[in-house]
Amino acid sequence: MLFWQILIDGFAISSLYALGATGFTLIFGVSGVLNLSHGALMVAAVVAAWVAGGDLAAGSYLGASFGVLVGLAATMLTYFVVVRPLQQSSKIREQEKEIFILTATLLWGIMIQELIAFLYTNNAKTVLPIVEGVVMIAGVRTPANEIFTAVICWLVIGLLWLLVNRTRAGKAVLAASMNARGVTLLGIELSWIYIAVWAIYGVLVGIAGVLLGMFLGVSSYSVGPLTASAFSIVVLGGLGSVSGSLIAAYVVGYLETMTAYLVSPAYRTIPALLLLVFVMYVRPRGLLGRR
Amino acid sequence: MKLTNWRILRAPLMKATLFLGAAVVALAAGPAAQAQSKDPIRIGVISEAQSVAGSSIPLGAQLAADEINAAGGIDGRKIEIVSYDNHSSSAESVRAFQRAVNEDHVNAVIASYISEVVLALEPWAARLKTVMITPGAASDVITQNIAKDYEHNKYTFHGYLTSTSIAQSVCDSAKDLLVKDLKMKTAVIMSEDAAWTTPLDASYEKCLPEIGLKVLDHIRFSPDTTDFTPIFNKIEGEKPDVMITGISHVGTQPTVQWKSQQVPIPMFGVSSQATNSTFWKDTNGATEGVLFQAVSGPGVAVTPKSLPFVDAFQKRFGNVPSYCGYTAYDEVYYLADAIHRAGTTESDKLVDALEKTDWVGTIGRVQFQGKDTPYPHALKVGQGTITGLMLQWQDGKQVNLWPTEVANGKLKFPSFIKTN
């Protein structure tokens, strides 16, 4: 019983982690940007879906779509207002740009967080679920929403895989992550690849946020922990490696769930963080890292 | 700007500064010397303006001040509210308190609904000898500190129920609603790990068995918890008749997950966020059937002042006050009353006057416990003063079930709840 409980709950939360971390690692792989406003973008999507579903009475489907749309818009804004001007600036030395972008996205995330708290208070919000009710799986009363979450996560990850590996545009993105200069030599405009990757990332962030809002709910306080969890999953899996992030998401998700059930919910995140420190010692490039 | 240019500018700038400074001093000194007694009474309000509960504090206080001013003020003096947002942080609250007293020269402070914040401010109220009343914190330690060192800490007043009295109110209502009516026998205590729940849980452990509810387990969880599935599973495995809650920092998340996982056990107790009128919207209706202790409720005439206050608040600010909106409103009134009786805003005399407070407010009759009791400056509770209520969310509305004299509905659970 407990075994099934852990297996089912762990799967749902891990799938959500996987989706959240995929976008995060994708933009790092392609454009070398560690986006520390990741959590803020997710929370923005949730709050937008909550507002649309509640105040504007748009219903669960429209509300969720609006949330994803706002997640995408906020991500593109982050790219054009915060990241790109720094990347193209001639006043900052090339080797310092990474740290500038890191700081800028962190501050940008805090700005979004404060704005949300100011406009909609810091109380937790939840998104109107698309599917309700419970299903019995192996004697475990599982919310249908949990199954829905896992299915959508894997559907989106599958589509992303098809996009990257089976389409021309996707292959260009993959190539850019391996050798940016090589791609430009083939006559592909690199700046368009960056915009495409950020747009894909925006959609992933929006979907992951809205699903999290339906599953657990978030508040403006969640901004930091969400960024931190995506960051640690990506570091554990190997920076820039999508498959590494997927594996790491499941490792972290199950480790957390097992701790919550077998030890105490209060210590939920501790073993995963210890594992991260351990991996940093013995294998600094992460599970499947290339560099 | 180049350094040389700056040097050229420096002399005229200094002259201008000196002139301005002199002008300010002259302006400030002039009227102050003549009209000291007609100066406004200034009340500092330090609150969590970004949280649903805390945002009612400055609004409730402002409403009371405006009403008093419209009626002519206190002995001809107007009341002025000076408001500070503490971002739910103790450190920012301490800075705000220092600024309120030293720079803005407030006569008294109304501060916060978070026990940790009020406990951080208490020594500052003592050091700066400024009266401070909390409209919403609950920890018993606030008043225990006054008992330990009365002369020093007497400037703090507890304008909301202590955790112990809240637990007592929950047990009193559970006795009627759960034990008598539903024949319940067992309970699990589920509370967040925070300063205010330590005495709350201790009182629960004591009073629940007294009313006939056996405590099967006691679960304390971190206020950072986001996934409550393991907690609900553990509780369900122990098969209690009811979960007795002690939650305030969390609320939306456990409620939504309780509904989506269809946990078949009722939630009953303290759930501070559920007292907010927006809680239905925050949880997308998942709060249906949740029972929560409160000192006030919509449409519940605890005193003749309750409903007119809610109407005025709603008309002016467009939403319903949270629990600390009621208390903050009352606090401005009885502070004003105490200043009137004391004939001064001088802190020591004000403390004496506040101790003699006997004021019918919006949540009941406000009287403070004496300095020789274990909880000096805590509100007196029970019949004739403040009893508290037990409400339940039903179809988007907060319905009062207890005490029966002021009840306006009957207990009703969603279909996934199983009661015998």
Per-residue pLDDT of A39-84, as tens digits, reads 999 999 999 999 998 777 778 899 999 999 999 999 999 999 999 9
**What is the domain-level CATH number for residue B179?**
3.40.50.2300
Cβ of A122 within 8 Å of Cβ of B227? The answer is no
Cβ of B50 within 8 Å of Cβ of A143? The answer is no
CA–CA distance, B362 with B364 (Å, rounded to integer): 6
**B413 in any annotated domain:** no
- Whether B399 and B322 map to the same domain: the answer is no
- Whether B78 and B200 map to the same domain: the answer is no
Q: Which helix or strand (DSSP H or E) is residue B157 part of?
A: strand B156-158
Say what the pLDDT of residue A188 is. 85
Of B52, B250, B283, the CB nearest to A121: B52
**A118 in any annotated domain:** yes
Owner of token pair 């879906």: A49
Q: Which residues 111-170 of A are in CB contact (within 8 Å) with B?
A: 117-118, 121-129, 132, 134, 141, 143, 145
Whether B31 contacts chain A with CB within 8 A: no
Residues in chain B with CB shorter than 8 Å from the CB of A13 are 227
**B209 in any annotated domain:** yes
- Whether B105 and B119 map to the same domain: the answer is yes
What's the pLDDT tens digit per position in A182-238? Answer: 888 888 888 899 999 999 999 999 999 999 999 989 999 899 989 988 988 999 998
Of B231, B262, B276, the CB nearest to A265: B231
Residues 6+ apart with CB under 8 A from A122: A219, A220, A221, B50, B51, B88
Residues in chain B with CB shorter than 8 Å from the CB of A145 are 260
Residue A69 tokens read as 């749309």
The full length of chain A comes to 291
Cβ of B233 within 8 Å of Cβ of A126? The answer is no
Phi–psi pair at B191, nearest 5 degrees: -145, 160
- Whether B104 and B171 map to the same domain: the answer is no
Q: What percent of chain A has pLDDT over 90?
A: 56
What is the residue type of B237? G
**B372 in any annotated domain:** no
| B227: containing domain | 164-294+388-406
**How far are the Cα atoms of A119, B17, B20, B329 from residue B25, in angstroms, in the given order?**
39, 12, 9, 35
Residues in chain B with CB shorter than 8 Å from the CB of A121 are 50-52, 55
Q: What is the DSSP string of chain A?
A: -HHHHHHHHHHHHHHHHHHHHHHHHHHHHHH----TTHHHHHHHHHHHHHHHHHTT--HHHHHHHHHHHHHHHHHHHIIIIIIHHHHH-SSS-GGGHHHHHHHHHHHHHHHHHHHHHHHH-SS-B-PPPSS-SEEEETTEEEEHHHHHHHHHHHHHHHHHHHHHHHSHHHHHHHHHHH-HHHHHHTT--HHHHHHHHHHHHHHHHHHHHHHHHHHT-B-GGGHHHHHHHHHHHHHHH-TT-HHHHHHHHHHHHHHHHHIIIII-GGGTTHHHHHHHHHHHHH-TT-SS---
Whether A216 contacts chain B with CB within 8 A: yes
CA–CA distance, B152 with B127 (Å, rounded to integer): 8
Q: Which helix or strand (DSSP H or E) is residue B142 part of?
A: helix B141-148
**What is the domain-level CATH number for residue A182?**
1.10.3470
Cβ of A124 within 8 Å of Cβ of B250? The answer is yes
Burial class from Cβ neighbours inside 10 Å (0-12, 13-18, 19+) for residue B414 reads middle
Cβ of A265 within 8 Å of Cβ of B227? The answer is yes
B272, B135 in Cβ contact below 8 A? no
Choose among B205, B126, B224, B218: nearest CA to B163. B205
**A288 in any annotated domain:** no
CA–CA distance, B22 with B3 (Å, rounded to integer): 28
**B22 in any annotated domain:** no
Alpha carbon distance, N-terminus to C-terminus of chain A: 42
Cross-strand partners of B111? B46
Of B51, B221, B256, the CB nearest to A126: B256
Cβ of A54 within 8 Å of Cβ of B284? The answer is yes
Split into its structural domains, chain A has a count of 1
Choose among B36, B134, B170: nearest CA to B335. B134
Select from A216, A220, A222 the residue whose CB has the most chain B CBs within 10 Å, as the one to mutate to test that interface.
A216
pTM for the model stands at: 0.84
Split into its structural domains, chain B has a count of 2
Phi–psi pair at B47, nearest 5 degrees: -150, 170
Whether B419 contacts chain A with CB within 8 A: no
**B179 in any annotated domain:** yes
One pLDDT digit (tens) per residue for chain B, 420 residues: 444 444 445 555 555 555 555 554 444 444 443 345 678 999 999 999 888 889 999 999 999 999 999 999 999 999 999 999 999 999 999 999 999 999 999 999 999 999 999 999 999 999 999 999 999 999 999 999 999 999 999 999 999 999 999 999 999 999 999 999 999 999 999 999 998 999 999 999 999 999 999 999 999 998 888 889 999 999 999 999 999 999 998 999 999 999 999 999 999 999 999 988 888 988 989 999 999 999 988 889 999 999 999 999 999 998 889 899 999 999 999 999 999 999 999 999 999 999 999 999 999 999 999 999 999 999 999 888 998 999 999 999 999 999 988 899 999 999 999 886
Residue A281 tokens read as 């010692």
Q: Which residues 37-56 of A are in CB contact (within 8 Å) with B?
A: 53-55
What is the residue type of A62? L
Max distance between CA atoms of chain A, in angstroms, equals 62
Say what the pLDDT of residue A106 is. 96
Cβ count within 10 A of residue B355? 17
Residue B375 tokens read as 């909880």
Choose among B296, B313, B311: nearest CA to B363. B296
Say what the pLDDT of residue B264 is. 95
A132, A142 in Cβ contact below 8 A? no
Cβ of B253 within 8 Å of Cβ of A217? The answer is yes
At B85 the three-state DSSP class reads strand
Encode B240-290 in three state secondary structure.
CCEEEEEECCCCHHHHHHHHHCCCCCCEEEEEHHHHCCCHHHHCCCCCCCC
Select from A60, A121, A258, A270 the residue whose CB has the most chain B CBs within 10 Å, as the one to mutate to test that interface.
A121
Alpha carbon distance, N-terminus to C-terminus of chain B: 81
Q: Which sign, positive or negative, has the C-alpha torsion A282, A284, A289, A291?
A: negative
- Whether B216 and B125 map to the same domain: the answer is no
Say what the pLDDT of residue B339 is. 96
Q: Which sign, positive or negative, has the C-alpha torsion B294, B300, B305, B309?
A: positive
Give helix A38-54 / helix A2-31 axis angle, nearest 10°.
120
Cβ of A123 within 8 Å of Cβ of B51? The answer is yes
At B214 the three-state DSSP class reads strand
Cβ of A265 within 8 Å of Cβ of B221? The answer is yes
What is the residue type of B39? D
Choose among B128, B115, B67, B126: nearest CA to B88. B115
Output the CA torsion A106→A107→A113→A114 (10° steps): 160
Residues in chain A with CB shorter than 8 Å from the CB of B273 are 123
**B66 in any annotated domain:** yes
- Whether B393 and B250 map to the same domain: the answer is yes
**A169 in any annotated domain:** yes
Q: How far is CA A142 from the centre of its chain?
A: 24
In this prediction, residues A232-257 reach a mean pLDDT of: 91
Say what the pLDDT of residue B274 is. 92
**A290 in any annotated domain:** no
Of B221, B233, B250, the CB nearest to A5: B233
B169, B161 in Cβ contact below 8 A? yes
Whether B229 contacts chain A with CB within 8 A: yes
Cβ of B224 within 8 Å of Cβ of A225? The answer is yes
CA–CA distance, A88 with A230 (Å, rounded to integer): 26
Q: Which helix or strand (DSSP H or E) is residue B351 part of?
A: helix B347-355
- Whether B169 and B157 map to the same domain: the answer is no
- Whether B153 and B113 map to the same domain: the answer is yes
Of B51, B230, B253, the CB nearest to A261: B230
A87, B217 in Cβ contact below 8 A? no
User: Mind telling me how many Å the CA of B384 is from chain A's nearest CA?
Assistant: 35
**B185 in any annotated domain:** yes
CA–CA distance, B84 with B81 (Å, rounded to integer): 10
Say what the pLDDT of residue B331 is. 97
CA–CA distance, B258 with B256 (Å, rounded to integer): 5
CA–CA distance, A137 with A141 (Å, rounded to integer): 7
Select from B51, B227, B259 the residue whose CB has the most chain A CBs within 10 Å, as the one to mutate to test that interface.
B227
**B394 in any annotated domain:** yes
- Whether B178 and B287 map to the same domain: the answer is yes
Say what the pLDDT of residue B102 is. 96
Residues in chain B with CB shorter than 8 Å from the CB of A118 are 50
- Whether B266 and B348 map to the same domain: the answer is no
B244, B167 in Cβ contact below 8 A? no
| A276: containing domain | 2-282
**A291 in any annotated domain:** no
**A12 in any annotated domain:** yes
- Whether B203 and B268 map to the same domain: the answer is yes
- Whether B212 and B357 map to the same domain: the answer is no
- Higher pLDDT residue, A123 or B351? B351
Residues in chain A with CB shorter than 8 Å from the CB of B227 are 9, 13, 216, 260, 265, 268
Cross-strand partners of A136? A141
Cβ of A126 within 8 Å of Cβ of B252? The answer is yes
Of B225, B260, B282, the CB nearest to A145: B260
Cβ of A54 within 8 Å of Cβ of B233? The answer is no
